């Protein structure tokens, strides 16, 4: 190895460009063989560095989201569930609704893959650099109740407030007590027009009274918050 290569490696390490450091010699040989100019060579090097940094940033975001498993759109069989609007799902995967602080509800019978789709949308958001967290409704309420009892509720809400996308899965599958329903209602209400929430539910909107212990809280959520015409809603029954 030449002195110039040794010095270049040292400088690249100091500049914290590990991918370029590892790849510049191989790409230099390829560039020479392919008669590439300096700009083309430099572009290929920097593209590798950018891709590596993006991947290194993505993995912690995915781990932090706490998905129960990794499910993406390429493993969802849209042909087996023809009522699922594929184009709507792919549109949601672009993430404009998250940038606009809208909410999304995936509503349908058990077994239609709502959790799969929710995870796929969460992964898409992670790839766009969004902060995402996945909870089942039961686990989220348990966490809120524990924080309330330990006088850490405000701290937890501050943490959740930093999320670009909060996924609440299986709302309506487990009965909530009054206190838990009120805590969940407050969380959803606080996030309205400030950040996005994705809910999967096996209940039609008219049946959300079963979750929120009556009509008052249900109406407060649905009137302008989770049922507004500009909010994406996908029925996956």
Domain identity same for 41 and 83: no
pLDDT in tens, 180-232: 888 888 898 888 888 999 999 877 666 666 666 655 555 555 554 443 333 44
Domain range enclosing 229: 73-235
Best CA proximity match to 75, nearest among 123, 137, 110, 134: 123
Domain identity same for 51 and 102: no
* 84 in a structural domain: yes
pLDDT band at 233 (very low <50, low <70, confident <90, very high): very low
* 68 in a structural domain: no
Domain identity same for 22 and 94: no
Give strand ranges (E) for 8-119.
104-107
Distance CA 9, CA 12 (A): 5
DSSP 21: H
Residue 62 contacts by C-beta under 8 Å, 6 or more apart in sequence?
70, 123, 126
Taking 3-state DSSP, the helix, strand and coil percentages for the chain, each rounded to the nearest 5, stand at 60, 10, 30
Token reading at 174: 């487990």
Domain identity same for 44 and 90: no
Domain identity same for 28 and 94: no
Domain identity same for 143 and 33: no
Domain identity same for 111 and 39: no
Angstrom distances, CA of residue 185 to CA of 12, 218, 229: 51, 8, 20
* 167 in a structural domain: yes
- CATH code where residue 215 lies: 3.40.50.300
Of the residues 37, 63, 89, the one at which a domain ends = 63
* 77 in a structural domain: yes
Above 90 in pLDDT, residue 173? no
Domain identity same for 95 and 204: yes
Above 80 in pLDDT, residue 77? yes
* 145 in a structural domain: yes
Count up the domains in the chain and report the number: 2
Helix, strand or coil for residue 176? coil
Domain identity same for 40 and 143: no
């Amino acid at each position: 190895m030449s002195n110039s290569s040794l010095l270049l490696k040292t400088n690249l390490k100091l500049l914290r460009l590990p991918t370029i450091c590892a790849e510049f010699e191989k790409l230099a040989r390829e560039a020479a063989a392919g008669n590439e100019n300096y700009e083309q060579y430099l572009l290929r090097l920097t593209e590798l560095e950018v891709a590596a940094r993006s991947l290194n940033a993505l993995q912690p975001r995915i781990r932090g989201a706490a998905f129960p498993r990794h499910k993406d759109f390429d493993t969802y069989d849209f042909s087996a569930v023809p009522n699922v609007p594929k184009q709507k799902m792919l549109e949601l995967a672009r993430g404009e609704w998250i940038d606009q602080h809208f909410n999304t509800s995936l509503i349908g019978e058990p077994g239609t893959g709502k959790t799969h789709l929710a995870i796929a949308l969460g992964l898409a958001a992670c790839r766009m650099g969004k902060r995402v967290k996945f909870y089942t409704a039961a686990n989220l309420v348990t966490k809120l109740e524990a924080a309330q009892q330990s006088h850490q509720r405000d701290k937890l809400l501050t943490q959740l407030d930093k999320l670009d996308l909060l996924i609440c899965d299986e709302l309506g599958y487990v009965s909530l007590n009054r206190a838990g329903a009120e805590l969940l209602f407050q969380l959803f209400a606080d996030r309205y027009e400030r950040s996005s929430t994705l809910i999967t539910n096996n209940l039609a909107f008219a049946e959300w009274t079963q979750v929120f212990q009556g009509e008052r809280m249900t109406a407060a959520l649905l009137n302008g918050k989770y049922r507004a015409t500009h909010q994406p809603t996908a029925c996956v029954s």
